[in-house]
Chains A and B, each alone.
Chain A
Amino acid sequence: MPHIISRTPMMSQSRRPAGVPADGNISPSVIQVIVKTPGHQNSFTVAGDTSVRQFKEKLSAHFKCQMDQLVLVFMGRLLKDHDILSQRGIKDGQTIHVVIKSKNGSRSLAHSFRKLLTNNPCHQDRSTKGNSSGVSQSAGMGQTKEESPLLMESDAPKVGTQGPELDSPEHIAQMLKNLCVQRMLSNMDIMHQLISEHPDMQELLQQNPEISHILENSEILCHTLELARHLSVIQEIMQINQPAQNLEHLQNPQPYLGLETIPNGNNALGQSYDFNNQILNGMQDLLWGNTFTALLAGQVLEQVQTSSQSLPSSSEEQWPRPPAQVIYANSCGLSSITPTNATLSNANHASRENPASVAPKGQSHVCAIQQPAGIPTLPNTAVTQELQEDDKGMAIPVGTSDQGLEGDLQQSGEQTSSQLTGGMIQLLRNYPYMAAQMLLLMNMPQQSEQWRQQSPTSLQSSQLSDLLLALANPKTSQAILQIEHGLQLLATEAPILLPCIEPSLWGLGWLPPFSCVYPDTVPWTLNVSDMAEPECGPQSGTVLQKSQPPSGDPSHSLQASEVRFSKQIEHLQTLGFVNDNANVQALIATDGDTNAAVHKLKKSQES
């Protein structure tokens, strides 16, 4: 008997599978395992000899997914379907990690990361956005961005649908007004993805990986959308400028051409490693696009000629200068094509500096371009020479609205600067809101900061202010003082004009901030030229007046506007608004909407 008894346990032991306790007082087959998925944890009671496949069946029912989506990991080892849990050493109380693969995404995700991982070590990110990758050395970075966005917000589905719409300029304006879009604009990652999804941009990124860091700048991306409104215009301009561009700064000329069609192309080419410079580029690009709109209007040449003659003067720093400065900030937009650090801030407000002395960094031509903007006295030839000496290729877009101008730009400094001036003034006239915004924000960076914080919804303005903050430099204070001086003079001489200059006064702290309204700045633009001539100085008034005569595209000239809005003007006059200039400007601002123009005129009169 004892033999039998003693033998039995031994036989039982040998029959038991390895790893099971020999005493057998607990059922070896039932274990409780902890199943951990990313973010969740559950307990499962299963038999120890369950196969992985059976376990997966259970899990798929629990997690409501397909079995082939499940990946089981235990102690760093992947569990195969044919494995037995106990054979893999899974005991009671141990944890199995489960990954539920997405149905399609795993491959693309891995692919995107493979590209990401093959990049050179991430450079320091100079952007204030902590999770951007900084300067990238590989095209994969850009693509990775688009594939790995932080689209965890509810806006995520919108991104896909709105992506293609971005390519259509006529939708952009409508889109930008959408609050949801504005919210998205504030999300750098979404915007980055939107931009990156553009096929041209992808191609560009492949060829010029260093621009990817620019894409991570939300301001630039935001302004890209703004600029996209004039995409067609920009394309035309870029294509015109294409042949004469000096591509020595570009590592690959091809993507530059492609960039022309990309709203952010100009910025992208600017291999600026400075955050401010990036912002600057974006802003420049944005603003420059508007300038080019004016340039393309065909009025540049004639206006340029006239305005250039009037420029060389020691006119006081009245409002023409600030707008000019503003406009020249725009002009730097195209010059931002130069892939060099921007000394735009230096040049922008260097109202009296010799252009040659301004441009320590790469964007010398940009600075040079900006010189005349802030300096009515700057000789055009000097500007041109500066342009020619430095980044010539980049200077091209500045002054060209057609190929004829393009040639002139490189040869005739006078034309260049005059074109710039004309373009700037056109910009001011056509987009006084923007010009005024830039003016104000340039003048008072601190206030603009506060204002921006107070008005988060005013996204584009805040973006502008950010960009202009980047421009802030010691020269800005000079300009501010000059403007303030001029405004003080204006206040003493013609206080009635103060309401017209309200926006700028706000910027200088004279009035409480408010959202600049189109007609407020618009009549200011013209009224000053008409009425403030004694104060502003003959030259500035002359500049404006000479820039007004139509010489080209009727849609951009005042008289043409008057023609267009003749009915509305009559209507306004019957309502009691006798100031034709103000009426026209208000109508331009509201695009012919009489009611809105009335509203704006009323507001300007009251203020």
Chain B
Amino acid sequence: MARKQLEGIWHTSIVVHKDEFFFGSGGISSCSPGGTLLGPPDTVVDVGNTEVTEEIFLEYLSSLGESLFRGEAYNLFEHNCNTFSNEVAQFLTGRKIPSYITDLPSEVLSTPFGQALRPLLDSIQIQPPGGSSVGRPNGQS
């Protein structure tokens, strides 16, 4: 798992099969590791090993992208890149990502500052440029 600091909020992505996958307002995207505008990660956490092949993984991502992680489903606090990374990490290895990342939104929201800015923050859509979308070919289910 690769983590990059983005405006104070951790942006995480999953690196598997020599590629980086992340979720943003544009849906699930992928690029080469460190290939987004954010650059190489600040911290890399090894979540584990997986037997899932690339083919299956991409299939899985496509399903995710159509169901749970569509672009419009992005929410900076509750359904963000960390949510995605957590989900994918569990799929790939059975383990979750470190809790201080997934707990960050609730930590922020528990502060008066976070509460006050909640409407604004809810509308923020983050999509690190440099990736390309993950999706299914047309017409196939």
* Minimal beta-carbon separation of B79 from chain A (angstroms): 12
- The reply to whether A113 and B30 form a contact with Cβ atoms under 8 Å apart is yes
Known contacts A38-B64, A144-B132; decide if A131 and B137 are in contact (CB<8 Å).
no
A39 within 8 A of B: yes
A579 within 8 A of B: no
Interface SS of A by simple majority: mixed
- The reply to whether B29 and A131 form a contact with Cβ atoms under 8 Å apart is yes
- The reply to whether B32 and A100 form a contact with Cβ atoms under 8 Å apart is no
Bound: A582/B65 CA distance, A: 56
Residues from chain B with a CB closer than 8 A to the CB of A145 are 132
B50 within 8 A of A: yes
Known contacts A71-B56, A131-B29; decide if A109 and B62 are in contact (CB<8 Å).
yes
B46 within 8 A of A: no
Please pick, from B18, B32, B129, B136, the residue contacting A109 in the complex, using a CB distance under 8 A: B136
Residues from chain A with a CB closer than 8 A to the CB of B37 are 124-125
Known contacts A101-B56, A106-B55, A107-B55; decide if A121 and B32 are in contact (CB<8 Å).
yes
- The reply to whether B132 and A148 form a contact with Cβ atoms under 8 Å apart is yes
Please pick, from B24, B31, B60, the residue contacting A99 in the complex, using a CB distance under 8 A: B60
Contact string, A123-150, partner B, CB cutoff 8 A, digits 1/0? 1110001111110000001001101111
Interface SS of B by simple majority: loop
Bound: A372/B7 CA distance, A: 49
Known contacts A76-B48, A121-B34; decide if A130 and B127 are in contact (CB<8 Å).
yes
Task: Classify chain B: how many residues form its interface, as a range.
Answer: 35 or more
- The reply to whether B17 and A117 form a contact with Cβ atoms under 8 Å apart is yes
Please pick, from B30, B51, B54, B133, the residue contacting A150 in the complex, using a CB distance under 8 A: B133
Bound: A144/B31 CA distance, A: 12
Please pick, from B26, B90, B135, the residue contacting A95 in the complex, using a CB distance under 8 A: B90
Known contacts A119-B32, A122-B32, A193-B138; decide if A73 and B91 are in contact (CB<8 Å).
yes
16 A-B residue pairs with Cβ-Cβ distance under 8 Å, sorted by A, are: A38-B63, A38-B68, A39-B68, A73-B52, A73-B91, A76-B50, A77-B50, A97-B91, A99-B60, A104-B140, A106-B55, A106-B59, A109-B136, A149-B133, A152-B135, A157-B139
Known: A121-B34, A151-B135. 14 other contacts (CB 8 A): A38-B63, A75-B93, A76-B48, A78-B53, A105-B62, A105-B137, A110-B59, A113-B19, A117-B17, A125-B129, A148-B136, A148-B137, A150-B27, A151-B136
User: Which residues of chain B have a CB within 8 Å of any CB of chain A?
Assistant: 17-19, 24-27, 29-32, 34-37, 48-56, 58-60, 62-68, 70-71, 90-94, 127-141
Closest 5 CB pairs between A and B?
Answer: A39-B67, A131-B26, A75-B94, A38-B63, A130-B127
